[in-house]
A and B are shown apart, each in its own frame.
Chain A
């Protein structure tokens, strides 16, 4: 048996530090919102001419008076991602750009993807994204409350909160783009992390009923160990699937799968080191679960 409980305090400090650092990052550095949430225009361009590269594209686009234009390689050497704000929300912007590019590059390029999100829509998408995440946290809180006792509910929600905040913190730290699919990833993380926590909690509750003489400090450790091989196997298969998406699923799914990978790692960690330590700190005992059973 591994003595997870020996490090409860250490990891509580670490978790708190991670949350604080992430919150500071989110407040002071902020998130790198993509056009879904910021509004603007995105063009994925594929060239079949070596003359077209990041610097020549940057050059051409800067002449078009579009404000801040970001040009980046996207996956392979001849794919580029161009983003700008489209502040005036010009209607025929794409056509104008095409005419301009045709002049210098002729027909040697192709727009593979064009996205244009107006300010109104992006504000709505952001609002519904934030709402979706908050709603999912609230619903999980209620669900666990109904299924378990409030101490468990608090522990699970703190673990979830940790996973979401720290994942977003990593995105902030590395200025990774937040778009619609990241919101989907965060929601899935919420589901996954909850799933992981519930399995351990289920065992804690069962053991609480079984052993009246074991303290919760010891009992959580027993429960973590009993479910450990399941935790490892499920995390492993899920990570295998996610790594397959990350490496082979194409550029569009990169951010999504990265967020999920982070979420699974943090989720597994938090189920052990946040959710359980909350139970210990709240002095959960056999009485806690038996009282609930009497009702």
Chain B
């Protein structure tokens, strides 16, 4: 166990130096061309906001089922099958058909090449399930159909969230999917997430619809409230243009009356429809509806054919800016709820870094002094090893650009405390060997060999705990699992290569000087 070939010594030296260099690149700037990796600081250390959003998919499912009923009705009409008493209840579609058509309908739904019910061969499942309830037929989304629907609304939502966050211009936001109905937003450096929260909390579904007096509009009407609380009016369900038709939106100052407005430009389809609607609807009130509330309902005075227009509604400059931003980034497929929020101010983050560093230095000093007092020369070897171990640990974290959190720093300090364990096991074993063995080389060799199973078992148990923590833990706690887990590997490396190398050099030189430890 004590023999090291020249090649191995060179390799260990180079390896250790390399990691010392990598680790110190966090402190000194070597220039990006040489090495541009750095340990990331977690939000709890650099300050910032962590938001977990959940997509409320219920309206999406309702809407989808609503659309499907129309599709089904038309599809079966072509096949001369009439669907009766169609209704949607609790995310199911119910309808009935005459008895002789029943099997036909079921077959169409269960056909793998069905036009109206896509089949996913990979999951051996249709999008929809059909069930014969005797009196009527029930159709609902299959498990896989629901998953697909959720994933696609998540895909859309994450895109919109990204656009909105980018527009606000925070530095290096981190936007990730979580499960199939959640989105995680990490905003480093942001200490007040109020604005982002209000921006993400809005669906931003914009429609232009005429205010109507009669209740029998061909498309149906609904009573909508004004945003400022003015009594509600009837608005047609017919959509002239919607947010999708917008090319751009900007906040502007109306020079005539010093009001802040949002000006917008429309795409070709939108411009055409807007032009037509404004030409036929002169004198009528055109309601601008955002998320079910009327912003304003100006009277159409002229035909607007240019495809440009403006929205007024008693905006402040801030609210006009936000509305323009929301319109530019597009509507969310479904409302988002903020189900978890954690914000740390930058000064608290800095305080945590300082406290962590002080604790690390003090813990390190205490351990080093203790080891030196206890083992003298071999304590010194342990301590040098411990320092190199720390560098390798930081080097690996840098190499993988791992995120360092406050519990992560605690993990490093704990590693320092526990890292000496392996060396202690070895040294104590050597001491025992030396009780009835006079040859230093043999005693040291025996010490290393006989302590090995205990060391490996002991480290694997800690590693197992770290692995579980990594997969089950969230946020800062994950950072703890990372440093603790990586710390085990670096500890074993430094004990078995670096400390053993020093020990071996010392012992072979002084093998005849009596008991060495």
Contacts and interface: CB of A to CB of B under 8 A. Distances in A.
A121 interface: yes
A136 B465 contact: yes
Nearest to B44: A252
B410 A191 contact: no
A95 B41 CA distance: 27
B271 to A, nearest CB: 37
B136 to A, nearest CB: 35
Interface residues of A, number: 69
A180 B348 CA distance: 19
B343 A115 contact: yes
B363 to A, nearest CB: 3
Given A188-B465, A240-B417, A250-B351, A113 B344 contact: yes
B425 A230 contact: yes
Given A118-B339, A121-B339, A195-B462, A91 B201 contact: yes
B351 A143 contact: no
A238 B417 contact: yes
B424 interface: yes
Interface in B160-217: 194, 197-198, 201
Given A128-B472, A184-B473, A198-B461, A234 B413 contact: no
A247 B360 CA distance: 11
B489 to A, nearest CB: 15
A244 B461 contact: no
A94 interface: yes
Interface string A238-280: 1111111101111011001100100000000000000000000
A241 B345 contact: no
A249 B367 contact: no
A144 B479 CA distance: 27
Interface string B448-466: 0010011001111111111
B474 A180 contact: yes
Contacts of A158: none
B477 A140 contact: no
Contact of A234 (B406, B407, B420): B420
A276 B374 CA distance: 28
Nearest to A189: B465
Contacts of B358: 248-249
B341 A116 contact: yes
B417 A181 contact: no
B359 A245 contact: yes
Nearest to B366: A240
B81 interface: no
A263 to B, nearest CB: 11
Contact of B461 (A116, A195, A241): A195
Dominant secondary structure of chain A at its interface with chain B: helix
A241 to B, nearest CB: 3
Size band of the B side of the interface? 35 or more
Interface string B208-235: 0000000000000000000000000000
Contacts of A110: 345, 347
Given A114-B343, A226-B432, A244-B362, A131 B458 contact: no
A135 B454 contact: no
A251 to B, nearest CB: 9
Nearest to A115: B342
B424 A230 contact: yes
B409 to A, nearest CB: 8
B363 A245 contact: yes
A73 interface: no
Nearest to B484: A188
A191 B345 contact: no
Interface string B345-382: 10110011001101110110011001100100000000
B305 interface: no
A198 B248 CA distance: 67
Given A143-B461, A188-B465, A241-B414, A113 B348 contact: yes
A220 to B, nearest CB: 16
Contact of B472 (A132, A249, A252): A132
Given A198-B457, A202-B457, A234-B421, A116 B201 contact: no
Interface string A105-121: 00000111111111011
A275 B406 CA distance: 34
Contacts of A120: 54, 339
Contacts of A191: 461-466
Contacts of A196: 458
Contact of B424 (A140, A233, A244): A233
A241 B464 contact: no
A229 B374 CA distance: 11
B297 interface: no
Nearest to B463: A191
A44 B348 contact: yes
B48 to A, nearest CB: 11
A290 interface: no
Contacts of A92: 197-198
B492 interface: no
Contacts of B420: 233-234, 237
B469 interface: yes
Contact of B374 (A91, A129, A147, A233): A233
A244 B340 contact: no
B352 A250 contact: yes
B355 A242 contact: no
A240 B421 CA distance: 13
A3 interface: no
Nearest to B453: A202
Given A180-B474, A184-B477, A233-B424, 11 more contacts: A117-B341, A118-B338, A131-B472, A132-B472, A143-B460, A181-B407, A191-B464, A191-B465, A206-B450, A241-B414, A250-B406
